Amino acid sequence: MNRSIDTQRRHVLSLAAAAPLMLGAAKVAHAVPTSETTAMTNPTPAPDSASTPKPLSFNPAKLKGLSERLIRSHWENNYAGSVKALAVTKKHLAEALAAPDMPPYLYNELKREHLLRTGSVVLHEYYFDNLGGSGQADAASRKALADAFGSFDAWETEFRRIGLGLGGGAGWVMLGFNTHLHRLENYWMADHAHGPAATLPILVMDMYEHSYQMDYGAAAAKYVDAFFQNIQWDEVARRLEAHRGAA
C-alpha cells in the first residue's frame, strides 16, 4: 500500500469520526426547523447501485504472470475497500447536506473524498474488466489503434512508456476516446481524481504499487509485460464500438 492511498484512508476515517460531532452541533442549533427547511434538507436518498463490489469477470488463478494472491488482494483491499469507503462517504454527505450549519469548507472535504473514491471505484472496474484475455489484439482493434497512432506498435510503445514513467509511484495509464476531439489518445493520470475531460476509457492500466508489488517488488516493467499478456481485447473492442456509437 503506497503512502498516497494510506494518507487518503486516514483522511476519510478522520472525517467520518468528526462528522457526527459537527452534525450534532448543527442539529442542536436548529432543533425546530420550518416545514420549508425540512423539505429542503431531508431529500429522499437515491438508490445506490455502486455499494456492492463488482465480481471479477475472470478466474484470477489463470492469468499469466499475475498471481491469484496479487489479484485477490488488489480486488479485496483496494477496489472493494474503495467501494465501502465511497458508501460511507456518501452517507456522511447526505447527513451533512441536511445540516444547515455545516461549513462549506468541511462539506467540501467530504466532496473531495467522494471524488477520489468514485474515481477509484470506476477505474478499478474498468481495469479488472479489461483483464483475463489472451493478450492478442483482434484485427478491428489493431486497425483502430493504427489509424489513431500511425501503427499499432506506436500505440503500444507510448502506452508502455507512460506506465514505466509511473513505476515506483502512483497513477493510471488510460487509452481513451475523447468525445470532444473525436480521437483516441493515451493519457497519463496521476491519481483517481484527475482525468482527461470528455474522455471515455477504452483500456486502463493501474500503476499504483499495490497492483504489482506483491509479485514484482519494484520491477514495474515486468508488471507492464504481464499486463499486456492478459489484456481482454474482446472487452476493448466492445468499448471502442460502444464509445464511438455514443460519440
Dihedrals φ, ψ of 121, to 5°?
-60, -50
Q: What is the pLDDT of residue 124?
A: 98
101 and 21 assigned to the same domain: yes
Q: What is the pLDDT of residue 243?
A: 82
Q: What is the pLDDT of residue 2?
A: 44
Q: What is the pLDDT of residue 70?
A: 98
Coil/strand/helix, residue 71: helix
Q: What is the pLDDT of residue 98?
A: 96
Q: What is the pLDDT of residue 50?
A: 58
Q: What percentage of the chain exceeds 90 in pLDDT?
A: 77
List the chain residues with pLDDT less than 70: 1-50, 246-247
Residue at a domain's end among 79, 105, 129? 129
Residue at a domain's end among 94, 129, 164? 129
Q: What is the pLDDT of residue 246?
A: 64
Look at the block and give the residue holding cell 508489488: 213
Q: What is the pLDDT of residue 247?
A: 58
Q: What is the pLDDT of residue 10?
A: 45
Residue at a domain's end among 129, 157, 179? 129
Between CA 2 and CA 227 the distance in angstroms is: 20
What distances in angstroms separate CA 212 from CA 17, 72, 143, 158, 217, one per listed residue? 32, 12, 30, 20, 7
116 and 7 assigned to the same domain: yes
144 and 232 assigned to the same domain: yes
Q: Contacts by 67-71 with C-beta closer than 8 Å and gap 24+?
A: 67/214, 67/215, 69/214, 70/211, 70/212, 70/214, 70/215, 71/131
Q: What domain count does the chain have?
A: 2
pLDDT tens for 124-174 read 999 999 999 999 999 999 999 999 999 999 999 999 999 999 999 999 999
Q: What is the pLDDT of residue 231?
A: 98
Any domain includes 49: no
Q: What is the pLDDT of residue 157?
A: 98
Give one DSSP letter per residue of 105-153, joined into a string.
HHHHHHHHHHHHHHHHHHHHHHHHHTBSS-S---HHHHHHHHHHHSSHH
**246 Cβ partners below 8 Å, 6+ apart?**
179, 200
Question: Of 194, 190, 187, nearest to 170 (Cα)?
Answer: 190
Exposed/middle/buried for 92, CB within 10 Å: 0-12, 13-18, 19+?
A: buried
236 and 157 assigned to the same domain: yes
173 and 122 assigned to the same domain: no
Q: What is the pLDDT of residue 244?
A: 74
Residue ranges making up the domain that contains 33: 3-42+66-129
DSSP state of 76: I
What distances in angstroms separate CA 56 from CA 48, 132, 189, 205, 206, one per listed residue? 20, 9, 24, 16, 15
Any domain includes 171: yes
150 and 98 assigned to the same domain: no
23 and 108 assigned to the same domain: yes
The number of angstroms, rounded, from the C-alpha of 107 to the middle of its chain's C-alpha atoms is 22
For the domain that residue 193 is a member of, what is the CATH number?
3.55.40.20
Residue 163, all three cell numbers: 506506465
